[in-house]
Structure 1
Amino acid sequence: MANHQPLFSLVPMNERAHEVVRLERNRDWRVKDREDKLVLCIGHLISRSGNATTLVTLGRDERNDIFVDSAQVANLQCSFEFNPDTYFVMFYDRSRAMTSKIHGRMCHPFQQGRPRKVLVHPGFNEFIGFGGENADSIQFRLRWHRDPNPNLADTIVNLNSELASPRVTQVRSIEPERSLIRWLNLGCLGSGSYGEVFQAINADDGNLMAVKIMRQRGNSQEREMWKARWMREVKILSEARHLHIVEYIGAQGWDGEKVSIFMGLKEGTLTSFVERELPLPRLGLSDIVFNHMLQAIDFLATRNIVHRDIKPDNILYVRQTDRYLFQLGDFGLSTRVVAEANPQGTPIYIAPELLQRGEVTHKADVWSLFITMIWISGNQQFRSLGDGYGKSLERTLEILSECTLSEPEYFERFRGMERINPQGRPSAAQLLLRYYGGEGLTTPRDQIPPLNL
């Protein structure tokens, strides 16, 4: 039964493949290409398998979509299937004898110890073979007719943050690699002093990722310093599994010149959300972001982790069916609770106690979230501060106070977050309990002191 326009064709590369194409049982899949040659078109018919994600099955059993009349081929030899989350196409070896293979100029073939599935994509893993001792009795080349993921071009990304896909991928160890993450580069998203960020597809599961590649530069002491920082970032991320914290996939390359950190891919940042879209009133947007970020900060606080760089560029979002999900990303400056640390980050978002080299606690993240809430309001006085460079702390605090007084209704629920003394500043847990009835709390309720504003 006709379904869609063809996604790709299987072009026969040897005589046995031509025989498969010419079989009368495969006539519904057979077409003539632009060169008047017979090929098998994939994607325009619904598979007989009954699986909604299966494009086509091939094998000796007549119940397959494409019948292969060969004793060297398994009853169910192989299949092409969609990743249900990203719609990229995967090639599966379904034979018990593992007699399917994939090859090409750019290729990540099947490997022992990995599931027998691999990404196929224009220019990547273009040739398949199956049947026989060397899995080459029947050979086809994939010729693509259209983008396997038409929505990919609509993906909006931020160039300076870790980004994530809607699907959480299993966390991998940061210990020496047992199984390297294999990936297809879809292009550079941005670069900085640390290295580059690439958009990528995981070649072994078809999920989208952001790959942050840091190059070790400088003398040996500097290289060890950066490596220690990246290790700290990865360790914190690997422990921070929470709905409102960007997903960590894995890291590798610690013994080489380049370290790769794999994150998921999101649609954009809070900055791009406000500047490009803003489908929500600012009051409604601030309520959602406030709630989601309080949950993230509270979770981190229970693990003695301070993000230290909360700002619109580091808050990511993804559309869900009828709502938006915001997540905290970029843990490059994150640290454990410590007595003091050098102030780092964008000055306007840095808590006063950090500027004065005071104790680093999760209350600093509460301050940064308060400044982010002012940013969402669009207050012109606040925008006049820019990034905060060149302004004294006293003048900055004066302007922030004027901002809160100018819109009392908007800033009511943020009251107390602006306190200079972190001991008097409310915690994320206290704010969640007061304004959201404790929804999303990680801190046990009996450990949350009363909030007096």
Structure 2
Amino acid sequence: MAHPSTIFYLVPLNERALDVVKHPSNRHLFSTYDDKPVLNIDLTIPSHSCSSNTIVTLGRGKATDIVIDGQDISRLQCSFEIDDTTHMVMLHDRSVKGTTHVSGSGNFMSFQQGRPRIIVVCKEFNDIVRLGVFEETCVKFQLSWPNSPVQSEAIIRNRQVSTSKFKESPQDVRTNSGPETVLPSGYMQTRIHTPGSKQFPLRYHRLNDLAKGGFGTVYKAVNVDTGKLLAVKCLPIRGAGSYHLLKREVETLYHQEVEICMNLMEGSVESLFEVSPPKEARSVLDSIVHDTLQALDYMAFHNFIHRDVKPANILYSKRGETYVFQLGDFGLSKRIDLGATQVGTPMYAAPEIWSKGSKQTPAADIWSLFVTVLWVLDLNRFRSTARTLEAEALIPWIVALANDSKVKAISAMARTNPTERATAAQMLVQCWDGKGLTTPLRKVAPLTPGK
């Protein structure tokens, strides 16, 4: 049975790895698992590294946690470290000549030439590690994870880093020769030096499903090269030509505020304000509007309409005390020349959406964002009242609410005529001096007074 704080076992796959397991300097980690001798990588056994995120270090140097004899092994060969944000375990190749390699009994992705030699390891992914120059003479381990991914994450989250080293008898104390001291995480990352301008494709490993619907499946994934978590939406391809259309749209819509494959966020505006509204609600609302306008301006500049802007589709994450918002869920988005069908969420639908045959434009998204602001403020009990109203009553009421002092500054977003309604670019210029514009400033027309 695994120790409660065991992350994984290093199971020897060849004789040389078995020698490492039995090495006198490594006896503090020696254990058995399934009646086999292994090294127990346990969070209660502190690393010699001065980094609290380092789980264990391996190398020829006596200052490493696991000592491996042999001139083909660097003094500091590699380390297993925890990403402080996502709690994923990362393997860092710190060898001089890049002689740490990963593969897998199942799914795996190797280090990629040109990238920093850091990669995710987890249950059933990248579970074989080879140390050394040649396959025939290398040290080869399998990482055996006794717990589920959820349990492993909980162990890491709840870890308490001890400031005291494990007790050793005098004859067991390792010699520290000075230069071999293990460096803090992130200080030295061995990599192949290539031009910095090269762009690498995103590589990710699928973890588990998050949601499934008519417009595809969203699943949790991890960027294998950074350890950052992602939400990946898999869109079904329907009919001939759909693949090329989807490919063109994804290639066109690349922006830090608009992503198909995006960082895993903490929640939505809907969940944020329903569960535990932030103390600085007005400041947060300003960020919601500014960030979303930037995304909508980018989409409009590239002739796209989102068509379902609402609190549930504006996602957030926190960076310290700052909220960052991103527009998500593009299941209904269309190019302007294709936008004619009535879709979206009725409460947030612009007046022109209800007119049969009306051509939809990015102006519809601006109306929806204004309604989102009303929902966040819950102006005149908007949330409960709006659900009970048909479009004939809802639209005039929204127009009337636009005169309230709390939203007067953005009232141009609530004009019923889409040709008179403010654009995202105009609002960015009027309220944020153009900060975050995609549309060239010279192409932003002055905002005219409403009729």
Task: Give TM-score scaled by structure 2 length.
Answer: 0.73
CA distance in 2, matches of 1:443, 1:136: 59
Q: Deviations over 1:37-95 (max 9, x none)?
A: 66253545665566675543322344544321124534443332344653312224455
Alignment of 1:220-369 (within 5 A): 222-224=238-240, 226-238=242-254, 241-242=255-256, 245-248=257-260, 262-280=261-279, 282-338=281-337, 341-356=340-355, 357-369=357-369
Equivalent residue, structure 2, for 1:163: none
Equivalent residue, structure 1, for 2:397: 399
Alignment of 1:433-448 (within 5 A): 433-446=429-442, 447-448=444-445
Say if 2:210 is the partner of 1:189.
yes
One-letter amino acid of the counterpart of residue 452, structure 1: P
SS for the counterpart of 2:221 is strand
Change in 2 beyond 3 A, CA 1:66/1:417: same
One-letter amino acid of the counterpart of residue 207, structure 1: K
Q: Deviations over 1:186-207 (max 9, x none)?
A: 2211111233221112334422
| Offset, 1:225 | 5.5
Change in 2 beyond 3 A, CA 1:312/1:232: farther
One-letter amino acid of the counterpart of residue 435, structure 1: C
One-letter amino acid of the counterpart of residue 227, structure 1: Y
Given that 1:270 and 1:316 are in contact with CA atoms closer than 8 Å, whether structure 2 keeps it comes out as yes
RMSD: 3.8
Q: Deviations over 1:88-108 (max 9, x none)?
A: 122244556665444444330
Given that 2:101 and 2:111 are in contact with CA atoms closer than 8 Å, whether structure 1 keeps it comes out as no
One-letter amino acid of the counterpart of residue 449, structure 1: P
Mark the runs of 5 or more structure 1 residues left unpaired by the alignment.
155-177, 217-221, 249-261
CA distance in 2, matches of 1:19, 1:340: 67
Given that 2:305 and 2:361 are in contact with CA atoms closer than 8 Å, whether structure 1 keeps it comes out as yes
Equivalent residue, structure 2, for 1:20: 20
Say if 2:422 is the partner of 1:423.
no
Change in 2 beyond 3 A, CA 1:395/1:143: same
Say if 2:192 is the partner of 1:207.
no
| Offset, 1:304 | 3.6
Q: Deviations over 1:108-152 (max 9, x none)?
A: 052675755432113433333333631664333334477554499
CA distance in 1, matches of 2:400, 2:221: 45
Say if 2:126 is the partner of 1:130.
no
Alignment of 1:145-164 (within 5 A): 147=151, 149-150=153-154
Task: Give TM-score scaled by structure 1 length.
Answer: 0.73
CA distance in 2, matches of 1:151, 1:397: 52
Given that 1:129 and 1:135 are in contact with CA atoms closer than 8 Å, whether structure 2 keeps it comes out as no
Given that 1:246 and 1:264 are in contact with CA atoms closer than 8 Å, whether structure 2 keeps it comes out as no
Change in 2 beyond 3 A, CA 1:340/1:198: closer
Change in 2 beyond 3 A, CA 1:52/1:282: closer
Identity rate of aligned residues, in percent? 34
CA distance in 2, matches of 1:124, 1:87: 16
Say if 2:117 is the partner of 1:120.
no
Residue 409 (structure 2) aligned to one of 406, 413, 418 = 413
CA distance in 2, matches of 1:442, 1:182: 28
Given that 1:131 and 1:137 are in contact with CA atoms closer than 8 Å, whether structure 2 keeps it comes out as yes
One-letter amino acid of the counterpart of residue 127, structure 2: E
CA distance in 2, matches of 1:278, 1:152: 29
Given that 1:110 and 1:117 are in contact with CA atoms closer than 8 Å, whether structure 2 keeps it comes out as no
Given that 1:200 and 1:208 are in contact with CA atoms closer than 8 Å, whether structure 2 keeps it comes out as yes
Equivalent residue, structure 1, for 2:176: none
One-letter amino acid of the counterpart of residue 234, structure 1: V
Given that 2:305 and 2:333 are in contact with CA atoms closer than 8 Å, whether structure 1 keeps it comes out as yes
Given that 1:237 and 1:331 are in contact with CA atoms closer than 8 Å, whether structure 2 keeps it comes out as no
Given that 1:283 and 1:410 are in contact with CA atoms closer than 8 Å, whether structure 2 keeps it comes out as no
CA distance in 2, matches of 1:273, 1:365: 21
Bigger CA drift: 95-104 or 269-278? 95-104
Mark the runs of 5 or more structure 2 residues left unpaired by the alignment.
159-198
CA distance in 2, matches of 1:396, 1:90: 52
| Offset, 1:395 | 2.8
| Offset, 1:271 | 1.4
CA distance in 1, matches of 2:338, 2:246: 21
